[in-house]
Amino acid sequence: MHIRKQRLLTPGPTPLYPPALHAMMASDIHHRTEEFRNAYRSALADLKEVYGTANDVLCFAASGTGAMDASVSNLFSRGDKVIVCSAGKFGERWVDITKAYGLDANVLKVEYGDVVTPDRVEAALKAEPATKGVFIQASETSTGVEHDIQTIAGLVKNTEAIFVVDAITGIGTMPLDIDGWGLDVVVGGSQKAFMIPPGLAFLSVSPKAWKFADTATLPHYYFSLKKEKKSGDAGESSWTPATSLVMALGEALKYIKKTGVANLIENAQLLALATREACEELGLELFAKRPGSSVTAVKAPAGMDSKVIVKGFKERFGAIIANGQGSMQGQIFRMAHLGYFDFADMFGIVAGLELILRANGHRVELGKGVAAVQRVYESAQPKKANA
């Protein structure tokens, strides 16, 4: 009770990979030297490998939103007709960005907790053949839902439009076959499944999207895809890079490659499954209608403000978990699974949750949720003993 370790358990920033943190100390390096160029080239190459694409992958010194902004300002022109899928706070960010740049956005909005279905996108594409782009979140972190990216990609692929996917919490938590499915722009961020602090934004650009860059007329300066591509090819970034984060990224990517991207995804999927099973045992209702594996959003028990649970984690266990955002604040809490999370974290989180719920009047039999997590752990173990 007297020692409470600080634990960052939110869906971004996520827990940090210690060797990546140590690598940050080697940032007393000048960015226009061969030494740094080697580190940068290697990080970009590993990033491309982790993205699993033949497309160009670029890196910016910005939070994830910087790359979302760049995808609009570099690939579109004022008045372009686009479709924006909006299923939560991050979908609303696409709406805000496209509107800020004067695009003509057809917003396909759903209630929080729900998803935009492929048939709605199909109908919107049919209704407006001049559509230039379709924007979506792979994983909508604010509600915990996952979109059917593969099916929607199949619909966009045969049109004139490009498919722009905010996969900031999708990468590393769900399969995303960028080249096979035809995802034209895929946005990522360092503080999610990449296990390092905030400050780097990534995006992949398909050949179809590069053609858009040739005709787009929106103004942009700092976030220039073409300039960044040219700089990256020369082992540099266009402006002074966030050197400490690049060093961290290099180290984290080595770990992700060694683990294997498919295993990183399976890790998040298993933790999400275990969390859902625990919630069922504890009589808690999920918020997402189509839950993904980056984060599990759970409704607070009737009559309980979810702030009580968030505060309980902080005060009792020094742990930061996520409340709901916007109007979901007080209604839901979110348990994250992306990046550097493991089963030992999950045992602790669910055990803590049981204690907090009980202390606040929700009937809980201690250990029921934890046992559900343990069962998922056991059944996921390779059955070596009997082989």
Ligand X SMILES: *Cc1c(COP(=O)(O)O)cnc(C)c1O
Interacting residue ranges for ligand X, rule: CB under 6 A? 12, 63-65, 90, 137, 141, 166, 168-169, 189, 198
Written as one letter, the residue type at 218 is L
Q: Minimum Å distance from CB 190 to ligand X?
A: 8
Please, which residue, 270 or 322, has the CB nearer to ligand X? 322
CA distance 122 to 171: 25
Q: Minimum Å distance from CB 165 to ligand X?
A: 10
Q: Minimum Å distance from CB 170 to ligand X?
A: 8
Residue 104, both tokens: 């003509």
Q: Minimum Å distance from CB 65 to ligand X?
A: 3
CA distance 249 to 245: 6
Please, which residue, 46 or 166, has the CB nearer to ligand X? 166
CA distance 147 to 164: 13
Packing angle of the helix pair 89-100, 64-75 (nearest 10 deg): 40
Q: Minimum Å distance from CB 72 to ligand X?
A: 13
Please, which residue, 163 or 317, has the CB nearer to ligand X? 163
Please enumerate in sequence order all residues whose Cβ is within 8 A of that of 343, keeping only pairs 6 or more positions apart, or say none.
Answer: 270, 271, 274, 373, 377
Q: How many CB atoms lie within 10 A of CB 52?
A: 18
Q: Minimum Å distance from CB 64 to ligand X?
A: 3
Q: Minimum Å distance from CB 21 to ligand X?
A: 19
Please, which residue, 14 or 55, has the CB nearer to ligand X? 14
Please, which residue, 63 or 150, has the CB nearer to ligand X? 63
- 8-23 burial, b for 16+ CB within 10 Å, e for fewer? ebbbbbbbbbeebbeb
Please, which residue, 210 or 296, has the CB nearer to ligand X? 296
Q: How many helices (H) and strands (E) does the chain have?
A: 14, 14
Q: Minimum Å distance from CB 344 to ligand X?
A: 24
Is 23:251 a contact under the CB 8 Å cutoff? yes
Q: How many CB atoms lie within 10 A of CB 76?
A: 25
Could you tell me where the beta strands, DSSP code E, fall in the chain? 7-8, 56-61, 81-86, 104-109, 133-137, 139-140, 145-146, 162-166, 185-189, 200-205, 295-299, 319-320, 322-323, 332-336
Q: Which residue do the tokens 């604040």 mark?
A: 329
Please, which residue, 74 or 191, has the CB nearer to ligand X? 191
Residue 54: φ, ψ to 5°: -90, -10
Please, which residue, 143 or 243, has the CB nearer to ligand X? 143
Please, which residue, 168 or 273, has the CB nearer to ligand X? 168
CA atoms within 13 A on the CB side of 194: 30
CA atoms within 13 A on the CB side of 273: 14
Q: Minimum Å distance from CB 248 to ligand X?
A: 16
